[in-house]
Amino acid sequence: MTQDSPYPWREEGATPFIKIEGLSKRFGSFTAVDDVSLDIFKGELFGLLGGSGCGKTTLLRMLAGFETPTSGSIFIDGADMTHVPPYERPVNMMFQSYALFPHMSVEKNIAYGLKRDGVNRSEISDRVAEMLKMVELSEFGRRKPSQLSGGQRQRVALARALVKRPKVLLLDEPLAALDKRLREQTQFELMNIQDQLGVTFVVVTHDQEEAMTLSTRIAVMDAGRFIQIGEPAEIYENPASSFIANFIGSANLLPAKILERHGGVAVLEHSGSKRQFKVATDSTQVGDTPTLAIRPEKILIDKAPLNQCDNQLQGTVREVAYLGKISTYRVETDIGEIIEVTAPNQVRPTGVGHKIDWDDSVHLGWNADSAVLLAE
Amino acid sequence: MTGKRSRFLLTMLCFGMAFLYIPIILMMIYSFNYSKLVPVWGGFSTRWYTTLFQSEEVWAATSLSLKIAVMNATFAVMLGTLAGLALARIHRFRGRTLFTGMISAPLVMPEVITGLSLLLLFITLNQMIGWPASRGITTITIAHITFSMAYVAIIIQSRLAGTGQDLEEAALDLGAKPFRVLWDITLPQLAPGMVAGWLLSFTLSLDDLVIASFVTGPGATTLPMLIYSRIRLGLRPDINALATIIILVVTIGVLLAGWIMLRQQKQLANRQ
Ligand SMILES: Nc1ncnc2c1ncn2[C@@H]1O[C@H](COP(=O)(O)OP(=O)(O)OP(=O)(O)O)[C@@H](O)[C@H]1O
Ligand SMILES: [Mg+2]
């Protein structure tokens, strides 16, 4: 069955687990979610990524049942959930604020959902203990949420949402309140849990790095619509627009015009300087005016000429940002554009004259297949 | 802030406080005065307290006032909590702004007008449906509930407005039906507010003279009414004693209510 494939979305005709069809939500005259359709498959860890106010939370709240869609429908595991109230959905949500019940102990918080389902007492205590163990809070069961640290509260919230073994777990910026180290640790924990339990996760985030680390697939949202859906690498390497290229990572964007095309390689002309570059492409026509996008880490930088590269530029370093494992250089080039380049710091920059520094003149180079063309 | 200015402010504060509290303190001191003439100090004594406890009239008025205060506080908390919940939690129902305004109107309405309008209401009702047959404890209680409830509603509403709906939504999400959510999540959160509202309603009712005078009938004399009628016959030391006791009870009530509200505010701050 297609369900067993680790990449069901790559398969034609696979049955989606969550099916969102033409879903819209309007608040008065304002459209927060605008006619989105999406298939999410069983066991996915699906990332919803987008800037502030683009409608991520609203979409999630519609999945949880807190918000009634203005139009469209939601199916989960084949059942129409569009008008089912939240307490009857096989869906649990972990709130951005954690929303732990302050007057109940950690144990009671986790047990609450099971009690409402009428699970018998001994099973409740077993499952609560099991959950506490999983989030490594076994000694904290008797405490009140106010007696826990931020990271511990967050783990309680996760345990509470998972204990009912929902078909779908919704997470709204689950890690936003944590520091970087704890966040990375929790990201891995989340991925482990998802692996163990096989629950389908939908995770909202506006941190693109987090989305890339966690997700099997990402949907990028803007102004209530999906502008690209795909696997992290696909979105990073083949962004659909310059907005996405800059939103996910950063990119050097050069306006250009296609002059000629031989097979998979086109020759184009930079609009400003009329300098010609080669780029791998299979869809553009001669005469098109796309944007050439090159990721900073795909450009080589050296003091010596880089003759092995398909495309070369010369320039002067205007800024250097030393970030430890990599450095970022902003180079003023001979085509009149500032190009950003990142390079790993493989050698400790001790010897004077060895490392690249402010005002050094440098050569930049990249190959035809390192850059992509964006239609807009 | 400069030293001079803060000293000035401090002086003003002392003056204000003195103006407020010296009369009360004087009254309390004179309630222990042996002399029958109020302004003449005749040595320390508790004889007026004894006199007070021997007076049947005082006992009757006290018990009436307490009955009214307890009933008032209980009903006001129930109704006020419901009103506060509706105001804070029901989304944009028609006329919500009007309702919000109306609920706080009794707080600013002159008591004389509230009293008069309630009296008219009771008279009209009596003529139309024969109820209330006579005015007394029932009518006073109803009148007190009308304004106490407004205080409770506002306490509850402000408490809820500050919290957002996350907790309730989390409970819904975990499978609790809306009524269950109200019982398990919303009411426990509101408990301190409800206790504070009860105490406040209790003291408001115990205090009230004007509205009670309007809507009372023959034979129903509350404590404030008793004091007022006796004072009109001249200052009397036993009234000082009675007033001292009332002040004590009211102060304890208000302090307790304030303390509970303060504690709940701190809890709220801790949660964020
Ligand atoms: N109840 C509401 N009434 C009116 N407008 C709303 C309501 N809820 C959300 N909106 C609007 O809908 C838009 C999308 O909101 P949403 O909370 O989904 O954004 P988001 O993508 O989660 O943003 P963030 O990353 O800041 O959390 C916003 O412009 C917001 O102002
Ligand atoms: Mg949001």
A102–chain B Cβ distance below 8 A for any pair: yes
Nearest-CA residue for atom 7 of ligand 1? A27
Residue B208's Cβ-side half-sphere holds a number of Cα atoms within 13 Å equal to 32
> How many angstroms away from the CA of A4 is the closest CA of chain B?
29
> How many angstroms away from the CA of A72 is the closest CA of chain B?
22
Longest dimension (CA), chain B: 72
What are the chain B neighbours of A111 within 8 Å (beta carbons)?
none
Instruction: Provide the b/e sequence for A75-102 (b: ≥16 CB within 10 Å).
Output: bbeeeebbeeebbebebbbbbbbbbbbb
The answer to whether residues A187 and A258 belong to one domain is no
| pLDDT tens digit sequence for A191-201 | 888 888 888 99
| pLDDT tens digit sequence for B160-193 | 876 778 899 999 999 999 999 999 999 988 988 8
Alpha-carbon span B177 to B218, nearest angstrom: 50
Task: Determine contact, residues A295/A244, Cβ cutoff 8 Å.
Answer: no
Alpha-carbon span A345 to B82, nearest angstrom: 66
The structural domains of chain B, with segments of one domain joined by +, span 60-239
Q: Which residues line ligand 1 (CB under 6 A)?
A: A 27, 30, 32, 50, 52-58, 206
Residue A1 lies in a domain: no
What's residue A316's pLDDT? Answer: 95
**Cα-to-chain-centroid distance, residue A216:** 9
Alpha-carbon span A289 to A272, nearest angstrom: 13
Residue A254 lies in a domain: yes
Decide if B176 and A112 are in contact by the 8 Å CB cutoff: yes
Alpha-carbon span A15 to A38, nearest angstrom: 12
> Alpha helices, DSSP H only, in chain A?
56-64, 106-116, 121-134, 150-162, 180-197, 208-214, 232-237, 242-247
Nearest-CA residue for atom 28 of ligand 1? A53
Residue A189 lies in a domain: yes
The answer to whether residues A76 and A192 belong to one domain is yes
Chain A, window 275-304: residues with a beta carbon less than 8 angstroms from a chain B beta carbon: none
Q: What is the DSSP pairing of strand A30-40 with strand A18-27? A: antiparallel
The answer to whether residues A48 and A102 belong to one domain is yes
Band of residue B249 on the pLDDT scale cut at 50, 70, 90: confident
The answer to whether residues A283 and A307 belong to one domain is yes
Residue B129 vs residues A341, B121, B132: alpha-carbon distances, Å? 89, 12, 8
What's residue A365's pLDDT? Answer: 94
Residue A232 maps to which CATH number?
A: 3.40.50.300
pLDDT over 70 (residue A301): yes
Among the atoms of ligand 1, which is closest to the Cα of residue A221? Answer: 21
| pLDDT tens digit sequence for A74-89 | 999 999 999 999 999 9
* Arithmetic mean of pLDDT, A339-351: 81
* Arithmetic mean of pLDDT, A344-371: 81
Residue A2 lies in a domain: no
Report the predicted TM-score, pTM, of the whole model to 2 decimal places.
0.79
What's residue B132's pLDDT? Answer: 85
Q: What is the DSSP pairing of strand A252-262 with strand A200-205? A: unpaired
| pLDDT tens digit sequence for B34-60 | 888 877 888 888 888 888 888 888 889
Decide if A101 and B167 are in contact by the 8 Å CB cutoff: yes
Bridge partners of A39, per DSSP, are A19
pLDDT over 60 (residue B1): no
- Name all contacts of B20-29 with Cβ < 8 Å and 24+ positions apart: B24/B247, B27/B240, B27/B243, B27/B244, B28/B240, B28/B244, B28/B247
> Alpha helices, DSSP H only, in A94-139?
106-116, 121-134
- How many residues belong to chain B? 272
The answer to whether residues A30 and A121 belong to one domain is yes
Tokens representing residue A272 in the block: 């400003």
Mean of all residue pLDDT scores within chain B: 87
The answer to whether residues A187 and A268 belong to one domain is no
Superfamily of domain B60-239, CATH level 4: MetI-like (1.10.3720.10)
Among the atoms of ligand 1, which is closest to the Cα of residue A50? Answer: 21
Task: Mention every residue, 6+ apart, whose C-beta is less than 8 A from residue B138.
Answer: B132
Decide if B167 and A99 are in contact by the 8 Å CB cutoff: yes
What's residue A352's pLDDT? Answer: 55
The answer to whether residues A136 and A23 belong to one domain is yes
Decide if A86 and B173 are in contact by the 8 Å CB cutoff: yes
Interface size, chain A vs chain B, as Cβ–Cβ contacts under 8 Å: 65
Among the atoms of ligand 1, which is closest to the Cα of residue A30? Answer: 5
What's residue B2's pLDDT? Answer: 58
Question: Which of B52-56, B59-63, B237-241, B263-267 shows the lowest mean pLDDT across its residues?
Answer: B263-267
Residue of A nearest to B268 (CA): A102
pLDDT over 60 (residue A140): yes
Last residue of a domain, one of A202, A220, A246: A246
The answer to whether residues A158 and A112 belong to one domain is yes
What are the chain A neighbours of B186 within 8 Å (beta carbons)?
none
Sign (positive or negative) of CA dihedral A267, A268, A274, A276: negative
Residue B119 vs residues B115, B144, B148, B209: alpha-carbon distances, Å? 6, 12, 17, 14
Residue A79 lies in a domain: yes
Provide the domain count of chain A: 2
Q: Can you give the residue range of the structural domain that contains A362? A: 250-374
Binding-site residues on chain B for chain A (CB distance < 8 A): 164, 166-167, 169-177, 180, 184-185, 188-189, 267, 270-271
Classify residue A263 by its DSSP letter. T
Band of residue A1 on the pLDDT scale cut at 50, 70, 90: very low
- The CA dihedral of B147, B148, B153, B155, to the nearest 10 degrees, is 130
* Arithmetic mean of pLDDT, A236-246: 91
pLDDT over 80 (residue B214): yes
The answer to whether residues A193 and A272 belong to one domain is no
Decide if A146 and B267 are in contact by the 8 Å CB cutoff: yes
What's residue A354's pLDDT? Answer: 54
Neighbours of A47 (CB within 10 A): 27
- Nearest C-alpha neighbor of B111 from the set B206, B202, B210: B210
The answer to whether residues A70 and A137 belong to one domain is yes
Mean of all residue pLDDT scores within chain A: 89
Q: Does the bond joining B132 to the residue before it have cis omega, within 30 degrees of 0? A: yes
| pLDDT tens digit sequence for A89-122 | 999 999 888 999 999 999 999 999 999 999 999 9
Classify residue A116 by its DSSP letter. H
> H/E/C letters for each residue in chain B?
CCHHHHHHHHHHHHHHHHHHHHHHHHHHHHCCECCCCCCCCCCECCHHHHHHHHCHHHHHHHHHHHHHHHHHHHHHHHHHHHHHHHHHHCCCCCCHHHHHHHHHHHHHCCHHHHHHHHHHHHHHHHHHHCCCCCCCHHHHHHHHHHHHHHHHHHHHHHHHHCCCCHHHHHHHHCCCCHHHHHHHHHHHHHHHHHHHHHHHHHHHHHHCCHHHHHHCCCCCCCHHHHHHHHHCCCCCHHHHHHHHHHHHHHHHHHHHHHHHHHHHHHHHHHHC
| pLDDT tens digit sequence for A250-290 | 899 999 999 998 888 899 999 888 899 999 988 888 888 99
The answer to whether residues A196 and A312 belong to one domain is no
* Arithmetic mean of pLDDT, B207-215: 93
What's residue A244's pLDDT? Answer: 92
Sign (positive or negative) of CA dihedral B8, B9, B13, B16: positive
What are the chain A neighbours of B188 within 8 Å (beta carbons)?
103
Among the atoms of ligand 1, which is closest to the Cα of residue A67? Answer: 1
Decide if B185 and A101 are in contact by the 8 Å CB cutoff: yes
Band of residue A2 on the pLDDT scale cut at 50, 70, 90: very low
What's residue A12's pLDDT? Answer: 79
Of A205 and A331, more confident: A331
Region of B55 (left: φ > 0; alpha: ψ -120 to 50; beta: rest) is: beta
Last residue of a domain, one of A229, A246, A263: A246
* Arithmetic mean of pLDDT, A148-154: 88
Which among B169, B189, B267 has CB closest to A66?
Answer: B169
Alpha-carbon span B169 to B165, nearest angstrom: 6
A243–chain B Cβ distance below 8 A for any pair: no
The answer to whether residues A143 and A280 belong to one domain is no
The Å distance, Cα A56 to ligand 1 centre, comes to 8
Which among A85, A95, A160 has CB closest to B166?
Answer: A95
Alpha-carbon span A5 to A89, nearest angstrom: 26
Of B146 and B93, more confident: B146
pLDDT over 90 (residue A205): no
Last residue of a domain, one of A209, A228, A246: A246
pLDDT over 70 (residue A3): no
